[in-house]
Chains A and B, each alone.
Chain A
Amino acid sequence: MSVTAPSPVIEVRGVSKSFPGVQALSNVELQLGQGEVLAVVGENGAGKSTLMKILAGVQAPDRGEVLVDGKPLKAFSVEHALDRGIALIHQELNLADNLDVAANIFLGREPHRFGLIDRSRLHHEADHFLKLVGLDISPITLTSTLSIGQQQMVEIAKAISVDARVLIMDEPTSSLSHRETEALFAVVRDLKRRGVSILYISHRLGEVKELADRVVVLRDGHNAGELQRDEISHDRIVRLMVGRDVSQFYDHRSHPAGDVMLDVDRLVTSAHPGESVCFQIRAGEVVGMAGLVGAGRTEILESIFGISPSLGGRVRIAGREVSRPSPQESVANGLGLVPEDRKQQGLILSMAVQQNLSLVNLFARVAAGCLVHRRYARELAGQIMDRLRIKTANARQIVRDLSGGNQQKVVLGKWLAIGPRVLLLDEPTRGVDVGAKHEIYRLIEDLAESGVAILFVSSEMEEILGLSDRTLVLHEGRITGELTRAQLSEEAVMQLATGAAGQTAMPAFGEIRSQTSPAENE
């Protein structure tokens, strides 16, 4: 069994790291024993990924040190970390999809003679590692033809092939199916038996409970606490993560649902041309949309908003048919989208808060003729900043210099300026600190109370569970289930999101499916 060895394989001492506007880590401590599976949990923006990047040599800390086998790491580079036996499996896929699977597994470490790649050995060895992770594909398969889950398993095969003593897994199951997840767990247990230490980052507390010997919780870049194997429970982890009881954190109020504000009928997106989705959202409703990476959630929001074209279907906003959704039309109809990537899609980072806030509204009201109505823009900015409690010196501050939470409030504020009827939020609290998160949740509740229909996409289970009146679950472009607040649980969402509901004969899912089918057949 797992016992923290007398001298840890990895010891993190007082590590701090800041990025412009964000203190990502402050004075973080961590120890990892040999053959130990240590789960590192925390909300998005808690600093987990930064810590892992430092351990893997991708980034250097501002202060503090990392000891491997009792000796400090002198340089922070990927090569150096690999030399010391530390390998990182990335959260985002990091494969060159123009190359075959074998090439990706051994990228940078190809068997070669005189600079020529030894293909037969390469393929032979790759085959071995593919079998090890339970992936039944040929090593010469082109990576771009694999599903996202399979690509993730290739990443894992790649990390294992390094023969690492410490393996860092950053959300390895975020896009895996149930079966693939099981295969991964088997691999993890096998590695542990062979004395490999594993740092396991996950949002899925069920996985943490199943795998981890110990849990370290980070909150806003600090050590928030630690749980031993027998202390690990869902509630305890969450309490450490958010710093208070969940019931207080998500102050869920139910609102009387009004008229149908958003009616999506047989919408087909480019991500899954073979599937279509149907759903309705009423005024005052907060509807969550859950699913794995690649389920097509973002594409649905973008197609409704009209930024990416839909391949078919109808969208009605407040009873009015939108024949060809476009951002211009959406703004005119009072539908706003808070996009997933706020820095790229949500904000113009080099412009001031005030200019960003009046961007959407510019041609509706802020502009007098073709000149910007400065006084109106300033007043508008002032109102929104007060309402959202955006913390800046003044409205002329450049958005780039704000914290993640304040930036996100500016994106939301942009849409408040048009007096929205429907708001689509894509990962509304990604990379936002706990305090700001709480405020954004409250704002969402306030908006719903005032009659706005809200559809939000989130990969954070806590958020889905805490916020939504109703939850739509997607699997590979299809709505596999709809859960009311009473039916909502982490397990139910995961089953539907991994498409397991169709295969396992669980009575609960039969129920759910029969509930959704009328909408789908409509």
Chain B
Amino acid sequence: MKKVLGILTLLIVVCAFTAWQSEHFLTSYNLQNLTRLTGLFGVLGIGVAFVIITGGIDLSIGSVIALTGSLLPYLLVKQGWSVPAALAAVSLMSAGIGLAHGLLVAKMNLQPFVVTLCGLLLYRGAARWLTADETQGFGAGYDGLKWLASGTVPLPGTGGFEIPVPLLIMCGLGVLAAVLLNLTLFGRYLLAIGRNEQAARFSGIRTDRIVIAAYVICSLCAGLGGMLFALEVRSVQPAGMGNFYELYAIAAAVLGGCALRGGEGSILGVVIGTALMRVLQNAISLLGYPSQLEFAIIGVVILLGVLTDEIVRRLAAYRHTRYQTRQSAD
């Protein structure tokens, strides 16, 4: 909880600074855009948090987005599939990708980094080959689907601010994920495996299955994100869609308190981390910093975030040992 407070403070500071420097920040147009993107990226962050908690990593998210994002319009428009069939097929494929990652990691003992790095290359290539590198679009129809990504729900009493649907989707998903992580057996086992896999195995937990499930969740979220991103941008370029998105997701999870060594993580933290990333990007464009500096600024802020976290942790550990030795001396 303390960890979440730290990042929340940082988020508020950055928001306040940007609002003070730019009158555009608090307009409902800007806020709507900002929260929409937070919702879309948040879905990815929530997914990858599960894998990170097991001590793993998923580098293939961006390519899964490209593959699912091009496949949805391809199946609907080029192949003429019905909406439910196309949605089911794309979701199933995402789950299948996660299953493959999980099996390779848990059963074959391959390193998650290597497995998902290969995935990153494989799914990008598959997306480009399948679509012959042509831009995929939805055309005029599919308004219901598009509403999921670009629709809004009016919020009465706020003078025109409307909640973007992706934000609502992310909130729903976030609540589900938080319950899963904190209240269920699955979540408990996930945390135990991430910290001490051997202890979990010796307790009779089927660690393989838990790890596999984490990868399936991650890829399912990436697939859902891919479809939403595709519906949001309307025209999908298989070569460029979702580039670097895995890194955004991982950065948001780390900012939000997920330790890459596993065993730690909070869904609320990931959501706030995602929001911070989006606000930073927003601030860079609103405040007129050169857009070429975008990555550099985000990189520095993340580094400062985790550095502060590590320093705070060490201070706490030091105080703890000091306290204990003083106690035992008394």
Residues on A facing B (Cβ under 8 Å): 58, 78-79, 82, 88, 90, 94-99, 103-104, 107-110, 112, 115-117, 145, 147, 158, 272-275, 476-477
Contact = CB atoms under 8 A, between A and B. Distances in A.
Contacts of B195: 96-99
Given A79-B204, A107-B192, A147-B324, 11 more contacts: A58-B202, A78-B202, A96-B196, A98-B191, A98-B194, A98-B195, A98-B264, A107-B189, A109-B203, A112-B185, A477-B325
30 contacts: A58-B202, A78-B203, A88-B202, A94-B198, A95-B196, A96-B192, A96-B196, A98-B263, A98-B264, A99-B192, A104-B199, A107-B189, A107-B192, A107-B199, A107-B203, A108-B203, A108-B204, A109-B204, A112-B184, A115-B185, A116-B183, A116-B184, A117-B184, A117-B188, A147-B324, A273-B322, A274-B326, A274-B329, A476-B325, A476-B328
Interface of B is mostly: helix
A82 B201 CA distance: 12
B200 interface: yes
Interface string B195-214: 11011111111000000000
A321 B186 CA distance: 56
Contacts of B329: 274
Contact of B325 (A58, A97, A110, A272): A272
Most chain B CB atoms below 10 A, which of A99, A110, A272: A99
B321 interface: yes
B6 to A, nearest CB: 18
A177 to B, nearest CB: 11
Contact of A82 (B194, B199, B204): B204
A480 B186 CA distance: 46
* Chain B: number of interface residues, binned into ranges: 20 to 34
Q: Among A115, A272, A476, which residue has the most Cβ atoms of chain B within 10 A? A: A115
Given A99-B191, A273-B318, A94 B325 contact: no
Contacts of B320: 145
A109 B204 CA distance: 9
B204 A274 contact: no
Nearest to A107: B203
A350 B318 CA distance: 38
Contacts, number: 82
A50 B184 CA distance: 35
A90 B264 CA distance: 24
Contacts of A79: 204
| In the A-B complex, the 10 residue pairs with the closest CB atoms | A274-B325, A108-B203, A94-B199, A107-B203, A96-B192, A96-B195, A108-B204, A98-B195, A96-B196, A79-B204
A98 to B, nearest CB: 4
Contact of B188 (A94, A110, A273, A275): A110
A79 B192 CA distance: 17
Contacts of A272: 321, 325
A110 B198 CA distance: 18
A123 to B, nearest CB: 14
